[in-house]
Amino acid sequence: SQQGEEDPQALSIQEGENATMNCSYKTSINNLQWYRQNSGRGLVHLILIRSNEREKHSGRLRVTLDTSKKSSSLLITASRAADTASYFCATFESGGSYIPTFGRGTSLIVHP
């Protein structure tokens, strides 16, 4: 199955700054999801955006989806040290696949 790709691979910022990470994919999707993983722990679901949606918010998170460019972005505003983690996008292809495709992730470090 095709793989989503996050960009950048690593991001280092200061507390209070905004963090933006991007996800690109190759085929038509049903939905796209973002997850957070603290070092060595299980992934935590952050937000799901459907193919007919363009933007979604959840607290300090803002996700956009551009299906024409096959890309999504995750914006974390006013970042905190506790946001330090890896962030993954996962896509569900339209057409019946039961296999979500995870990207390799963006490693975010937020310095206090």
Candidates 85, 105, 106, 107; binder of another protein (CB under 8 A) is: 105
The reply to whether 107 sits near another protein by the rule CB under 8 A is no
Residue 112, preceding peptide bond in cis (omega within 30° of 0): no
> Each residue of 93-102: b (16+ CB within 10 Å) or e?
beeeeeebbe
Q: Can you tell me the distance from the alpha carbon of 33 to that of 96, in angstroms, rounded to the nearest whole number?
A: 17
* Under rule CB under 8 A, residue 2 binds another protein: no
22 binds another protein (CB under 8 A): no
Residue with tokens 């996962």: 90
- Which residue number, 6 or 83, has a Cβ lying nearer to another protein? 6
| Chain contacts with another protein (rule: CB under 8 A) | 1, 3, 30-31, 33, 35, 40-45, 48, 88, 90, 92, 98-100, 102-105
